[in-house]
Amino acid sequence: MRLMVQILFVLAIGIGVGSVTAWFSIQRSHGIGAINIGVWTAWPFAGGSQADPYTVARVISDSAVPLGAAEGLAFETVADEDGEPLRLECAYRLEGSTPPARLWTLTPYRLDDRPIESVGDMPVHASSHGLLWFPDGTFHLTVGGPPAPGNWIAARGEGRYRLVMRLYDTPITSSSGLVDPVMPRVIPLGCPT
Amino acid sequence: MKTRAIYLTVCGVVMAGIVHIAIVLMIPQFGSRDAWNLLSKSNDLWTFADMGPGSEGEKLLANTDPYFRLGACTFDLSQSGLRLQGDATALLWSASVFDENGAVVYSLNSRTAINDRLDLIVLTPVQMVELREAPPEEIDRAVVVEAEITKGFVILRQFMPDDTYLQVTNAIMRNVVCGPYHSRPQEVLG
């Protein structure tokens, strides 16, 4: 009887702790196989055959199709530069420039991967195609909050979200050591509501 | 008694480690939500499926870019190679060949393709040898890739800057052909 209790105790710890830590490290594997630029994180090997087991498991359980190296690289962030989680109630300004790319797109997603609904004709995502730029090649893009002059997208609603910036046809997937890549800052502008 | 409890906890932690590693490593084998599983259930082999708005495959894959129209084609290289062809377009497109586990085997974009035109041939090493024996004319214009895989899928991503490009994009996607490719030419006598 005592032996049974002891075996059950070991099994409970093993299966319980093992599966919880596995789930967490797959869902939140933000350090493994990743590169970080500012607040942004990318998994350059997510699509390759050299991907680590955590990244592979994450891609599979997300039903995602990662970008191949010749296609581009996706960066994402769930927090602003103060480390606070991104919230749909709040407004942010993306400021700066991106690594060289033929095209980039910026899309907000809810944490459960649902897209953010657009209200009327207001844009909910942006791309480098049709953006207002400063003469020095940098840009400002306001995300959320009331409609703003310049570049603005309407990521509005409630709850946390993440921003995904995808760089298409970018040399940083092949020559990351040559240049010091920069990504835009994510500056919090406050939460009006 | 106390040492016994510590001993059992250590056993539990060791087992937790084993369970953790086993789960992570078994997901590729037993996971059912991966792209290959979803695509091979909904699409026929050798059929290019436009996954645009209103199509069956629209909601199949998660985390897709709203600026891109996706199309997919599943293939099985055990009998023949794969050839994926499309019209030339100035709009950016990119494509990746995935194996069954969802790992990218090869990827290309419109600038790395020949004349911005999608013409991709995927062959197994054996089929590649057959192709080299008697190179057919079309391989001058196609991107020929050797891949040690049997089953897999190709995802084509076509950039669509805004809704005014809807008709152009529809036409591009309609004209994509995905089919088996036999490299062995007609037997030449003599």
pLDDT in tens, B99-146: 888 888 899 998 888 888 899 999 999 999 888 888 888 888 889 999
- Chain A residues with CB inside 8 Å of B74's CB? none
CA distance A18 to chain B (A): 4
pLDDT in tens, A53-77: 888 887 777 777 888 888 898 999 9
Interface predicted TM-score (ipTM) of this complex, two decimals:
0.84
Q: Concatenate the DSSP letters of all residues of B2-29 into one string.
A: HHHHHHHHHHHHHHHHHHHHHHHHHHHH
- Chain-chain contact of A67 with B64 (C-beta, under 8 angstroms): no
- Chain B residues with CB inside 8 Å of A68's CB? 94, 96-97, 104, 106-108
CA distance B134 to chain A (A): 29
- Chain-chain contact of B15 with A11 (C-beta, under 8 angstroms): yes
SS3 A62: coil
CA distance A150 to A12: 57
Residue B150 has a CB neighbour count (10 Å cut-off) of 13
Q: Choosing among B2, B11, B19, which should be mutated to test the A contact, i.e. which has the most A CBs within 10 A?
A: B19
Q: A111: nearest CA in chain B?
A: B63
Give the sign of the dihedral formed by CA B35, CA A44, CA A101, CA A82: positive
pLDDT in tens, B7-59: 999 999 999 999 999 988 888 778 777 888 888 888 888 989 888 877 777 77
- Chain B residues with CB inside 8 Å of A164's CB? 63
Q: B96: nearest CA in chain A?
A: A68
SS3 A189: strand
- Chain-chain contact of A60 with B60 (C-beta, under 8 angstroms): no
Task: Dump strand ranges (E) for chain A.
Answer: 35-37, 40-42, 72-77, 91-96, 103-110, 126-127, 139-143, 151-153, 161-168, 185-190
